[in-house]
A and B are shown apart, each in its own frame.
Chain A
Amino acid sequence: QKEVEQNSGPLSVPEGAIASLNCTYSDRVSQSFFWYRQYSGKSPELIMSIYSNGDKEDGRFTAQLNKASQYVSLLIRDSQPSDSATYLCAVTLSGGSYIPTFGRGTSLIVHP
């Protein structure tokens, strides 16, 4: 069964630190990878997408993709209390439907 796995957390980091969120997936031919942020009681918000091996940076966020090892990670530099949320990893698996499969999410807590 094609799956996307995330550690549920919570991951607790102090303000100003780097938060590292990881996601593994089972399908070797996965094509697209997305990170969403979801605040409690709100809907998911797309923050990063990555399609090729390597790093992609956007402000304080860096997505890292390693297709050979089948993992994608999200680094948040200079973490702020406002970054406290659940981060969902989504992967478009093979099969042609292009509908992403979502992980269960990692809860991040940034404490002052």
Chain B
Amino acid sequence: KAGVTQTPRYLIKTRGQQVTLSCSPISGHRSVSWYQQTPGQGLQFLFEYFSETQRNKGNFPGRFSGRQFSNSRSEMNVSTLELGDSALYLCASSWPGQGAKDEQYFGPGTRLTVT
């Protein structure tokens, strides 16, 4: 079974621009979560989508948004980029069914650099 895929793998943007990242979950997985990872803050939860609805949200500003499509693929968007948005953005998929026992599987990530 193919793993989680993310595109693009690397991205360089300028302050003030916006960016869209894409994630395709493992086949059959219906939950997609997004994380930001930086050396200073570690792995921070952005939001989770399930059945095209945002089910959980982390503590990030409204510049960070996402959506999920009917095939469970998900996109996240960051508007008005800031230097501090430079990070590894990770997508994780899971098959909701066991509640707290849901195991998340990560994609390779998108390395975003804001200059």
With A99-B33, A99-B45 in contact, do A32 and B90 touch (Cβ < 8 Å)?
A: no
The reply on B107 being an interface residue by CB < 8 A is yes
B109 touches A43 (CB 8 A): yes
With A98-B102, A99-B48, A100-B104 in contact, do A105 and B42 touch (Cβ < 8 Å)?
A: yes
Interface string of B32-74 (1 = CB under 8 A from A): 0100000000110100100000011000000000000000000
The reply on B105 being an interface residue by CB < 8 A is yes
Question: Inside 8 A of A92's CB, which chain B residues have their CB?
Answer: 100
CA distance A42 to B106 in the complex (A): 10
Q: How many A-B residue pairs have CB under 8 A?
A: 48
The reply on A104 being an interface residue by CB < 8 A is yes
Number of B interface residues in the complex (CB < 8 A): 21
B101 touches A102 (CB 8 A): no
A88 touches B43 (CB 8 A): yes
Residues 74-96 of B contacting A (Cβ, < 8 Å): 88, 90, 96
Question: Inside 8 A of A43's CB, which chain B residues have their CB?
Answer: 88, 90, 106-109
Residues 79-112 of A contacting B (Cβ, < 8 Å): 88, 90, 92, 97-105
CB distance from B99 to the nearest CB of A (A): 6
CA distance A75 to B107 in the complex (A): 25
Contact of B42 among A42, A46, A49, A104 (CB under 8 A): A104
Question: Inside 8 A of A88's CB, which chain B residues have their CB?
Answer: 43
Closest chain A residue, CB of each to CB of B94: A98
Contact of A32 among B43, B96, B100, B106 (CB under 8 A): B100
A46 touches B90 (CB 8 A): no
8 more CB-based (< 8 A) A-B contacts, given A31-B101, A49-B101, A105-B42: A31-B100, A43-B88, A43-B106, A44-B43, A44-B90, A45-B106, A98-B96, A98-B99
Please name the 9 residue pairs, one residue from A and one from B, whose CB atoms are nearest each other, closest first. Answer: A31-B100, A102-B43, A43-B106, A104-B42, A32-B100, A92-B100, A97-B56, A43-B109, A44-B106
28 A-B contacts (beta carbon < 8 Å): A31-B100, A32-B100, A32-B101, A32-B102, A36-B106, A43-B88, A43-B90, A43-B107, A43-B108, A43-B109, A44-B90, A44-B106, A46-B103, A46-B104, A46-B105, A46-B106, A49-B101, A49-B103, A51-B100, A90-B104, A92-B100, A97-B56, A98-B99, A98-B100, A99-B33, A99-B45, A100-B104, A102-B43
